[in-house]
């Protein structure tokens, strides 16, 4: 079925710059992969950090690798309430200007991020061949339909096309639970 995409559920996680890795885990530390993720080259790390919000701390949040140019914290709306950051903006990955900051605590030090806390906007990764098959291009918006007793249609789903991408529809845990969908479940794309 060329009009279907597999689900990839995103739990809260942190991407780190090498500068912040050095502070949190020690100078020259390299992230330790424990599991490959759906997108080629991306991996879950053994490393975890604590998120210290104005209201509460969420301990032991997974770091995803590899290191990036700028640190980024991806959480759900519920996590934002827990931390005391109720107005976390919905953003595409890497769009961090004007987003809230937060304190990260690791085993060797702590970092006060001035910005970088987002809720990831729903999106579909695909390579150019898949984009051609779907008849879409980078930055298009589509809908994705989930069937079942908690069926719903996700609107405003961003298409992201790159040679390095694998076909995957990324939503956060609350979006996934609202639709009662599972990892790798195939959902219909509606243009």
Residues that bind a copy of itself in the complex, under the rule CB under 8 A: 76-78, 90, 121-122, 149-156, 171, 173-175, 177-180
Which residue in 3, 2, 9, 7 sits closest to 168, CA to CA?
7
What is the distance between the alpha carbons of residues 59 and 105, in angstroms, rounded to a whole number?
A: 9
Minimum distance from residue 191 beta carbon to a copy of itself (Å): 15
Minimum distance from residue 33 beta carbon to a copy of itself (Å): 25
The nearer residue to a copy of itself, 9 or 167, going by C-beta atoms, is 9
Terminal-to-terminal C-alpha distance of the chain: 15
The nearer residue to a copy of itself, 54 or 148, going by C-beta atoms, is 148
Minimum distance from residue 127 beta carbon to a copy of itself (Å): 26
The nearer residue to a copy of itself, 90 or 132, going by C-beta atoms, is 90
Minimum distance from residue 168 beta carbon to a copy of itself (Å): 18
Distance of CA 90 to the CA centre of its chain: 11
Cβ contact 165:133 at 8 Å: no
Which residue in 77, 113, 66, 71 sits closest to 94, CA to CA?
71
The nearer residue to a copy of itself, 40 or 86, going by C-beta atoms, is 86
């Amino acid at each position: 079925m060329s009009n279907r995409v597999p689900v990839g559920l995103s739990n809260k996680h942190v991407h780190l710059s090498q500068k912040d890795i050095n502070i949190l885990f020690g100078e020259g530390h390299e992230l330790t992969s424990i599991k490959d993720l759906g997108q080629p080259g991306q991996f879950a790390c053994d490393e975890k950090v604590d998120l210290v919000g104005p209201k509460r701390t969420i301990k032991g949040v997974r770091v995803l690798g590899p290191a990036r140019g700028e640190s980024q914290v991806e959480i759900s709306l519920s996590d934002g309430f827990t931390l005391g950051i109720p107005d976390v903006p919905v953003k595409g990955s890497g769009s961090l200007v004007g987003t809230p900051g937060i304190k990260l605590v690791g085993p060797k030090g702590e970092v006060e991020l001035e910005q970088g806390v987002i809720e990831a906007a729903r999106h579909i990764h695909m390579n150019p061949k898949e984009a051609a098959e779907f008849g879409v291009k980078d930055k298009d918006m589509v809908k994705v339909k989930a069937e079942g007793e908690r069926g719903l249609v996700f609107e405003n789903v961003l298409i992201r096309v790159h040679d390095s991408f694998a076909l995957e529809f990324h939503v956060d845990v609350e979006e996934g639970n609202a639709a009662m969908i599972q990892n790798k479940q195939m959902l219909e794309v509606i243009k």
